[in-house]
């Protein structure tokens, strides 16, 4: 198959692209699909084509279209003009991933993961997730008519289960240590021929590359100075970095942005290791964050994110719950309603401007990862009001 391989992100051990196990058999670190060195944008793609057709040189292993797109990707890049007055930042953009079929960027990785599962002949897929990824895999499992199993925490609330269950997968509330499920599901998947499309598997990373490709096109190939990614497992961060690198390899852009990994102060294994100058993450222990979508205390791609930050001079930082709340409301006041995780990059912009890292007139792209309606509990963080008026008084009040 185009003799592309999986390459270990840590020890460079290679395995066949037909292997479905997503981690290195030698060192257990995550695998990458080999970086693409050459390619161009398929300018003949039609508006109805999915992103992997427009960028097909960067997805050479996707030779067959199984007709399972739900219209993911090609999300807007929205300019936030208000920050020009407030911060003297004229070029701040939001990559609005809330506009995906299941309202988060996860759809990009789910669709590539499911196509890969079909390509390898799987008839069953699954994932381990409590949130956006579960809904996303369930939706694509439904579209592809595959038997789909979603493993969630035992104590998951009904209002969180229902948006997953509506797509018709088998939902299993697993009793026991949730942290062990990631590895365990991969092992069971290998034995039982279920393709587990977990948070940072290589094909999910491949899906996230398209965020970078689209940003490059939307900015007319003028690389932004900063790209800010709210990070949990690390799969999305890896994908965005890989996308920019592949476009640079191909000569479509001439420089890379500075990649910024932002985490919640109460769930910051990667940023903590980065700040301490460590090469490996440690388990963060008990987490405390209002953005559960970025709450993984032991991210499976944490070490690889650290390697990427070091190799490409990126940086990692934390923002606290109050800063996230402020950013969440502020972004909504600019017309973009995200779940708290999606607003974390705006909180990071304030912090990085205060520290003199981001400077006036630089170009910043914030990745708004998921929709506000995914986390209605977050309404409680704000003092949202309305008032009554009688029909007779309406003219006066207005
Ligand atoms: C999954 C998710 C993230 C974190 O992405 P990772 O790939 O796990 O780092 C951030 N925000 C939202 C809304 C998500 O659903
Ligand atoms: Zn390895």
**pLDDT of 19 above 90:** no
**pLDDT of 1 above 80:** no
As a whole-number percent, the residues of the chain with pLDDT over 90 amount to 89
As a whole-number percent, the residues of the chain with pLDDT over 70 amount to 99
Q: What is the pLDDT of residue 201?
A: 96
Cα(301) to ligand 2 centroid in Å equals: 13
pLDDT band for position 284 (50/70/90)? Answer: very high
Ranked by mean pLDDT, the top range of 16-30, 178-192, 236-250 is: 236-250
**pLDDT of 148 above 70:** yes
Ligand 1 pocket residues where CB is under 6 Å: 104, 106, 131-132, 199, 230-237, 293-294, 339, 341-342, 369-370
Q: What is the pLDDT of residue 84?
A: 84
Higher pLDDT: 256 or 19? It is 256
Cα(32) to ligand 2 centroid in Å equals: 10
* Interval 285-297 mean pLDDT: 95
Higher pLDDT: 363 or 154? It is 363
Residues 107-118 pLDDT 10s: 999 999 999 999
Q: What is the pLDDT of residue 87?
A: 87
Q: What is the pLDDT of residue 358?
A: 96
**pLDDT of 10 above 80:** yes
Q: Six-digit token pair at 276?
A: 């301490």
Residues 232-271 pLDDT 10s: 999 999 999 999 999 999 999 999 999 999 999 999 999 9
* Interval 12-32 mean pLDDT: 92
The closest residue, in CA terms, to atom 2 on ligand 1 is: 293
Q: CB neighbours of 383 closer than 8 A, spacing ≥ 6?
A: none
Higher pLDDT: 372 or 82? It is 372
Residues 157-174 pLDDT 10s: 888 899 999 999 999 999
Cα(29) to ligand 2 centroid in Å equals: 6
pLDDT band for position 92 (50/70/90)? Answer: very high
Q: What is the pLDDT of residue 91?
A: 94
Q: What is the pLDDT of residue 119?
A: 94
Instruction: Quote the CA–CA distance of 178 and 157 in Å, as a whole number.
Output: 15
Q: What ligand is nearest to the CA atom of residue 368?
A: 1
CA 352, 75, 34, 54 torsion-angle sign: negative
Q: What is the pLDDT of residue 82?
A: 86
pTM: 0.97
Cα(363) to ligand 2 centroid in Å equals: 36
Pocket test for ligand 1, best of 113, 182, 269, 294 (most atoms within 8 A of CB): 294
Q: What is the pLDDT of residue 147?
A: 98
Q: What is the pLDDT of residue 371?
A: 97
Q: What is the DSSP letter of 10?
A: T
Instruction: Quote the CA–CA distance of 393 and 395 in Å, as a whole number.
Output: 6
96-99 long-range Cβ contacts below 8 angstroms, 24+ apart: 96/336, 96/368, 97/211, 97/342, 97/367, 97/368, 97/369, 97/370, 98/336, 98/337, 98/338, 98/342, 98/368, 98/370, 98/371, 98/372, 99/75
Q: Six-digit token pair at 332?
A: 């909504």
Cα(300) to ligand 2 centroid in Å equals: 14
Q: CB neighbours of 214 closer than 8 A, spacing ≥ 6?
A: 51, 73, 74, 75, 77, 95
* Interval 29-37 mean pLDDT: 97
């Amino acid at each position: 198959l185009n003799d592309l391989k999986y390459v270990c992100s840590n020890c460079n051990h290679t395995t066949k692209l037909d292997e479905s196990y997503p981690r290195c058999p030698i060192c257990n670190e995550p695998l990458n699909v080999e970086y693409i060195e050459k390619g161009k944008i398929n300018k003949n793609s039609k508006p109805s084509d999915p992103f992997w057709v427009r960028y097909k040189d960067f997805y050479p292993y996707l030779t067959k279209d199984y007709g399972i797109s739900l219209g993911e990707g090609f999300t807007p890049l929205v300019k936030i003009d208000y920050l020009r007055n407030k911060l003297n930042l004229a070029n701040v953009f939001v990559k609005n991933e809330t506009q995906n079929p299941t309202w988060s960027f996860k759809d990009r990785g789910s669709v590539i993961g499911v196509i890969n599962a079909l390509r390898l002949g799987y008839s069953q897929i699954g994932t381990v997730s409590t949130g956006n990824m579960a809904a996303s895999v369930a939706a694509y499992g439904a579209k592809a008519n595959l038997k789909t199993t979603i493993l969630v925490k035992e104590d998951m609330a009904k209002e969180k289960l229902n948006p997953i269950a509506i797509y018709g997968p088998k939902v299993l509330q697993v009793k026991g240590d949730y942290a062990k499920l990631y590895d365990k599901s991969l092992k069971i998947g290998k034995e039982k021929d279920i393709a587990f499309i977990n948070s940072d598997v290589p094909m999910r990373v491949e899906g996230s590359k398209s965020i970078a490709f689209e940003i490059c096109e939307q900015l007319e190939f003028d690389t932004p100075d900063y790209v800010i990614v709210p990070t949990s497992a690390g799969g999305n961060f890896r994908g965005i970095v890989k996308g920019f690198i592949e476009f640079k390899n191909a000569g479509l852009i001439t420089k890379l942005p500075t990649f910024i990994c932002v985490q919640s102060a109460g769930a910051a294994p990667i940023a903590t290791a980065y700040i301490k100058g460590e090469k490996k993450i440690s388990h963060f222990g008990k987490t405390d964050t209002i953005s559960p979508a970025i709450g993984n205390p032991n991210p499976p791609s944490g070490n690889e994110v650290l390697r990427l930050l070091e190799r490409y001079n990126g940086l990692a930082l934390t923002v606290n719950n109050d800063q996230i709340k402020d950013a969440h409301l502020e972004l909504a006041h600019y017309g973009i309603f995200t779940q708290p995780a999606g607003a974390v990059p705006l909180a990071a912009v304030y912090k990085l401007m205060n520290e003199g890292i981001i400077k006036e007139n630089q170009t910043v792209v914030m990745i708004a990862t998921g929709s506000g309606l995914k986390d209605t509990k977050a309404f409680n963080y704000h003092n949202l009001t309305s008032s009554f008026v009688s029909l007779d008084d309406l003219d006066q009040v207005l």
